[in-house]
Structure 1
Amino acid sequence: MHTVHRLTLEDALVMLTAAEEEARRIGVKQTICIADDGAHPIALHRMTGARLTGVEIAIAKAFTAAGHQRDTHRFNEPPNGPALPGNEAFGISHMLPGKFAIFVGGFPIVYEGEVVGAVGVSGGNGDQDKAVGAAALRAFQEKIATA
């Protein structure tokens, strides 16, 4: 038998709040998606003024991070990023057109060593997306530490 942990809407809202606070602090308008372990969105928030395209991009980043249980930017990190030309997963982003993102902004959410979901962030540059995603993940860790 295997115990499965699930994110709740309450968990997602804590992460969204922290992510938005960080986005405001660094001065970027972001779209943030929190997805469950099946890569389905639990909560989505597009800050006022954030790009309209960010919605689909944030969902795709969360989908990829949850489904592949890794940060999305790791697909393209030289020299051995698996999605780089000549490497084993080159072209993987074409497998699920519009759903698979292999660039910065998708981060798995880990609880007791298992991926229970993901955060997808879109709207800033790579460093900004990483900062906002990290804020969401920190908020989740703080929440579970006090539970």
Structure 2
Amino acid sequence: MMALINASTIGWEAARNAVDAAVAEATSLGVVVCVAVVDRAGHLLAYGRMDGAPLLSGQLAQDKAYTVAAFGLPTHEWFNLIKDETALLHGIVKTERLVVFGGGVPVTVDGELVGAVGVSGGSTEEDRLVAECGAAAAIRDSSQARTV
């Protein structure tokens, strides 16, 4: 049995590309947002707050990205998974940093989670679109992924 695991994760340059692309998409949609990019372990790599974005959106963006890294699911998929389980619905939403609405998406390379993008400030659909744009930009050059 091997004691070590090799795992790929995005680096700072990929995270910066994601923030830049997300901000450009938000601008084209006419929304002001906060964008957070985390590595596969949920550690913040890059963050941006557009002028005028709500202050609370900064923490929400970071928590959306963290939720994706922690569970591997986009945040918009959570509610449908828990909506019919009353105890879970009312209990799990009290979990610190867990967000169960749109705006957090995974960054994957060859099916492997390497990071996540979280966006907050627009509607959940706008946040999701902006995050997806950022995630796509993060891996345009997948040579920016590193193994840790």
Question: What is the TM-score of this pair, normalised by structure 2?
Answer: 0.87
Segments of 5+ residues of structure 1 without an aligned counterpart are: none
Distance 1:102 1:146, change over 3 A: closer
Structure 1 segments of 4 or more deviating over 4 A?
Answer: none
Q: Counterpart in 2 of 1:11? A: 14
1:93 CA displacement: 1.8
Query: What is the alpha-carbon distance in structure 2 between the residues aligned to residue 146 and residue 62 of structure 1?
Result: 19
SS of 2:93's partner is helix
> Residues of 2 paired with 1:146 and 1:41: CA distance?
16
**Structure that is richer in helix per residue:** 2
Q: Say if 1:82 and 1:89, in contact at 8 Å, map to a contact too.
A: no
Which residue of 2 is the match for residue 104 of structure 1?
102
- Change in CA separation of 1:52 and 1:11 when aligned onto 2, cut-off 3 Å: same
1:45 alignment partner AA: G
Between 1 and 2, higher relative CO (CA 8 Å, sep ≥ 6) is seen in 2
Change (3 A) 1:67 1:49: same
What is residue 121 of structure 1 aligned with on the other side? 119
Residue equivalent to 1:58: 61
Name the structure 1 match of 2:34. Answer: 31
Per the TM alignment, residue 102 of structure 1 is displaced from its structure 2 partner at its CA by 0.6
State the superposition RMSD in angstroms: 1.9
Segments of structure 2 that go 5 or more residues without pairing to the other structure are none
Q: In structure 1, what is the Cα distance between the partners aligned to 2:68 and 2:87?
A: 18
Describe the shift of the 1:20–1:71 C-alpha distance in structure 2 as closer, same or farther (beyond 3 A).
same
- Please list, as runs of the form range in 1=range in 2, the aligned pairs for 1:62-141 lying within 5 A after superposition: 62-76=65-79, 81-86=80-85, 89-90=88-89, 91-96=91-96, 99-141=97-139
Alignment-mate amino acid for residue 102 of structure 1: V
User: Secondary structure of 1:39's match?
Assistant: coil
Structure 1 residues 13 and 146 mapped into 2: Cα distance closer, same or farther (>3 Å)?
closer
Identity %: 32
Size of the aligned set, in residue pairs, is: 141
Q: TM-score, with normalisation over the residues of structure 1?
A: 0.88
- Cα distance, 1:30–1:95 mapped onto 2, change above 3 Å: same
